[in-house]
Amino acid sequence: MAEKKRKKEISTASRLSVAPMMDWTDRHCRYLHRLLSHRALLYTEMVTAPALVRGGAVHLLDHDAAEQPVALQLGGSDPQELAQAARLGQAAGYPEINLNCGCPSDRVQSGTFGAVLMKHPGLVADCVAAMRAAVTAEVTVKCRIGVDDQEPREVLPAFLEQVAQAGCQRVIIHARKAWLQGLSPKENRDIPPLDYALVLEMAQAFPDLQISINGGVQSLAEAETLLAQGLSGVMVGRAAYHQPWDILAEADARIFGEARAAPAPEDVARAMLPYTERHLASGGKLNQITRHMLGLFAGRPGARGWRRLLSEQAHRPGAGPEVVEAALAQLEPAA
C-alpha cells in the first residue's frame, strides 16, 4: 500500500519537473529548488550505470532527504547492469529511476546510450523490463522525438509502443530531434525545431501512457498551457535553472493547487545559509552552492550586483555566509 501511495505521489509531482542537466542539477541546486517548490519533481544529473556497478561510485547517489521527491537518471544500455544500478538507486532512496535516451553527447554515444538508443527501441524495452523486474520504484524513460534522419512520426510511436509493452508507464519526450553528427550537445538544445504538436498527438495516441513534454518551455504560464492541452506533465530545463524563482516559486499554487504563498527570494537565500554552513563544515566551498543561486533574483533591481558579488567573492578561500548577506545588500527592496 505504501509503495502504491509513493508511486501516486511521484506521478503527481511529475506535473511539473526540473530536467536533469549535467553539471547543473547537483544536490546543492536541488536543495535550492526544493525551497522554492515543495511539490515539483526534481532530477539528478545523469549517473552512468557502469560508474555505479563497475566503478563503485555510489557516492554519486548521495542526496539530502529534504530534496524529495527526486528521481535518479541513469545512463546505460546493458539491461542487467542497469538493473543493478536501479537497485542501488532504490536502496539510496530514489522513488523513480529514469533511463536516459535523449543525451546527444559524444561521450554517451561511444557508450551506446543516450539519444543513440532511439535507434534501438528493442534494447530500450529490454532495459526497462530488466529494471522493472529489479525494483519497485517507478521506471521511466526520457527520449527525443527521433535522431538524425529518422522520421519522428514513424519512429516515435514505435518507440513508445515498445517501452510501454515493457512496462514503462511514464515517458518524458524532449520535443526535438537529436543530431548525433554535426551538432554539439549545446546546439542540440536549440537548433533542431521543436515539434510540440507531435508530442501532443502521442499523448492522444497512448492514453494509458503518461507523457510529459520537455524542450523550450520558458515560463510557468507556458507549462500551464501545455498541461491544459492534455499532457500529463511538463519538464522545464534551463529556464528553471537561470530563473528559478520565476518557474518554481508559484508552482505549488498554480500547478498543484496548494494554498501556499510564493516564498520571497530573499527568504529562500537566507534559508540556504544553514545548509551552506553544514557544507562548509564538511570541507566544501561556498561557490559550490552559490553558483546555483545566481539567477534567484533574475529581473529584480540589483540582480546584477547580487550576481557580481557572488561571482567575485564566493570562490575565495574562507568565504562563508557573510558573502551571501553582502550580496543581498546589493538588492533594492521589492516594490
pLDDT of residue 283 exceeding 90, the answer is yes
Q: How far apart are CA 272 and CA 265, in angstroms?
A: 11
> What distances in angstroms separate CA 265 from CA 32, 271, 279, 292, one per listed residue?
11, 10, 21, 13
Share the mean pLDDT of the chain: 93
- Greater confidence (263 vs 184) lies with 263
Residue-level pLDDT at 188 = 58
Residue-level pLDDT at 1 = 54
> What distances in angstroms separate CA 14 from CA 64, 71, 141, 272, one per listed residue?
19, 10, 13, 24
Average pLDDT over residues 115-128: 95
Using 50, 70 and 90 to split pLDDT, how confident is the model at 2? low
Residue-level pLDDT at 183 = 63
Q: Which of 153-167, 177-191, 261-275 has the lowest mean pLDDT?
A: 177-191
Using 50, 70 and 90 to split pLDDT, how confident is the model at 246? very high
pTM (two decimals) = 0.95
Q: Of 190, 163, 199, 226, which is closest to residue 17 (Cα–Cα)?
A: 226
Using 50, 70 and 90 to split pLDDT, how confident is the model at 103? confident
pLDDT of residue 108 exceeding 60, the answer is no
Task: Specify whether the CB–CB gap between 157 and 173 falls below 8 A.
Answer: no
Q: Provide the percentage of residues in the chain whose pLDDT is more than 90.
A: 86
Residue-level pLDDT at 258 = 95
Residue-level pLDDT at 17 = 98
Average pLDDT over residues 103-127: 83
Residue-level pLDDT at 40 = 98
Query: What percent helix, strand, coil does the chain show, rounded to 5?
Result: 50, 15, 35
Q: Which of 169-183, 227-241, 286-300 has the lowest mean pLDDT?
A: 169-183
Catalytic residue numbers? 103
Residue-level pLDDT at 110 = 57
The DSSP element (H or E) to which 16 belongs, if any, is strand 16-18
- Greater confidence (99 vs 10) lies with 99
Average pLDDT over residues 320-328: 96
Which residues contact residue 287 at a Cβ distance below 8 angstroms, ignoring those fewer than 6 apart?
A: 310, 314, 315, 319
Average pLDDT over residues 324-328: 96
Residue-level pLDDT at 335 = 52
pLDDT of residue 332 exceeding 80, the answer is no
Q: Which grid coordinates belong to 277?
A: 554552513
Grid cell 517507478 is found at 138
Q: How far apart are CA 154 and CA 136, in angstroms?
A: 32
Task: Specify whether the CB–CB gap between 213 and 196 falls below 8 A.
Answer: yes
3-state secondary structure of 7: helix
Calculate the CA dihedral of residues 217, 218, 220, 221 and round it to 10 degrees.
-90
Using 50, 70 and 90 to split pLDDT, how confident is the model at 112? confident
Total Cβ atoms within 10 A of residue 13: 24
The DSSP element (H or E) to which 58 belongs, if any, is none
